[in-house]
């Protein structure tokens, strides 16, 4: 049995491809071109799949040195045993779902994915329907991240092809993200911040929607934030950098103005993108959490519905 596979029962076929007529003999490990396979997106991934016994040629396990002459049927498999992770009984609000993708509302205080048991990823199988597509993932996969203390919209892939296409949308900056935050201090009505983060260009835009006076913090501002680049902790760093940190930010807050026990007041409110399969324009929104609307009740859209 090949490395990484304990039993043939551990394998699930996810796609197949018939090799066209070739001008010259090609080694299996060199047979990669972008777009041929849905689930393999690089030469390195091709070699790794071969090494793990996840590629078959005409029904037999493929090896690096196998030659292709044309006409062979190449099958790509997933190792079910390796992809099994724990499911957790956490109810997640599903904002949108179809056979290819979903958008969910991540609660604050949970990581999106990782080695821990209590992750958003481990809650998805219990909240989403399994795709009926041939390349359906064994488990839905988040295609981007939100920080542990941040709540809001997370885009989920349900098939191998949607992983690739959604990642491409992010790479090409064709997904618009809008956040809302409660910002501390006196703040202009709107502004653009372009200070670098870790020597990389970063650009954020903000607009104040409402302000209330606070004896301790002077002002608390419900603010719309738009990141035009995707640096880690970008919005938190940018707002802190102009002297107006996000309310409850333990990492980037100003000394003496850090609120503890209420969490970070940063919420990923909406995603806008063109659906990679239906080509429809998508706008998906998550209502502001209650801790926001307690401060700014006029924005409590849930209670008004």
Residue with token string 């991934």: 45
Parallel/antiparallel/unpaired status of strands 266-274 and 151-159:
parallel
Burial of 76: CB neighbours in 10 Å, binned 0-12, 13-18, 19+: buried
Structure tokens at 127: 């909240």
Residue 106 CB: number of other CB atoms within 10 A?
25
Is the distance from CB of 136 to CB of 169 less than 8 angstroms?
A: no
Is the distance from CB of 138 to CB of 78 less than 8 angstroms?
A: yes
Helix (H) or strand (E) holding 11: strand 11-18
Structure tokens at 17: 């491809």
What is the separation, in whole angstroms, between the first and last Cα of the chain? 58
Structure tokens at 228: 């035009």
SS3 55: strand
Instruction: Give the CA distances from residue 103 to residues 40, 226, 286, in Å, rounded to whole numbers and listed in that order.
Output: 24, 19, 10
Helix%, strand%, coil% for the chain, nearest 5:
20, 35, 50
SS3 206: strand
Q: Is 147 known to be catalytic?
A: yes
Q: Which of 10, 100, 135, 147 is catalytic?
A: 147
| 214 DSSP β-pair partners | 218
Helix (H) or strand (E) holding 301: helix 301-304
Of 11, 161, 3, 130, give the one whose Cα is nearest residue 75. Answer: 11
The residues annotated with a catalytic role in the active site are 147
């Amino acid at each position: 049995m090949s490395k990484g596979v304990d039993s043939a029962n551990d394998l699930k076929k996810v796609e197949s491809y018939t090799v066209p007529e070739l001008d010259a003999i090609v080694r299996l490990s060199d047979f990669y071109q972008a777009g041929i396979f849905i689930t393999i997106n690089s030469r390195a991934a091709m070699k790794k799949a071969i090494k793990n016994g996840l590629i078959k040629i005409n029904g037999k396990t493929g090896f690096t040195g196998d030659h292709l002459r044309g006409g062979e049927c190449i099958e790509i498999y997933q190792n079910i045993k390796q992809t099994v992770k724990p499911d957790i009984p956490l109810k997640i609000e599903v904002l949108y779902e179809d056979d290819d993708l979903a958008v969910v509302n991540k609660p604050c205080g949970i990581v999106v994915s990782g080695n821990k048991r209590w992750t958003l990823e481990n809650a998805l199988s219990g909240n989403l329907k399994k795709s009926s597509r041939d390349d359906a993932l064994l488990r839905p996969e988040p295609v981007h991240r939100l920080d542990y203390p941040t709540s809001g919209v997370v885009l989920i892939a349900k098939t191998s092809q949607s992983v690739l296409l959604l990642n491409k949308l992010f790479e090409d900056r064709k997904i618009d993200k809008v956040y809302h935050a409660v910002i501390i201090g006196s703040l202009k009505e709107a502004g653009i911040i372009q200070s670098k983060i870790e020597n990389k260009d970063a650009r954020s835009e903000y607009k104040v929607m409402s302000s209330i006076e606070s004896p301790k913090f002077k002002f608390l501002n419900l603010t719309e934030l738009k990141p035009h680049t995707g640096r880690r902790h970008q919005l938190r760093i940018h707002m802190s950098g102009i002297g107006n940190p996000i309310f409850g930010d333990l990492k980037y807050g100003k000394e003496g103005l850090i609120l503890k026990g209420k969490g970070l007041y940063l919420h990923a409110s909406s995603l806008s993108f063109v659906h990679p399969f239906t080509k429809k324009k998508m706008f998906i929104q998550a209502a502001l959490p209650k801790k926001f609307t307690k401060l700014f009740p006029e924005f409590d859209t849930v209670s008004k519905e």
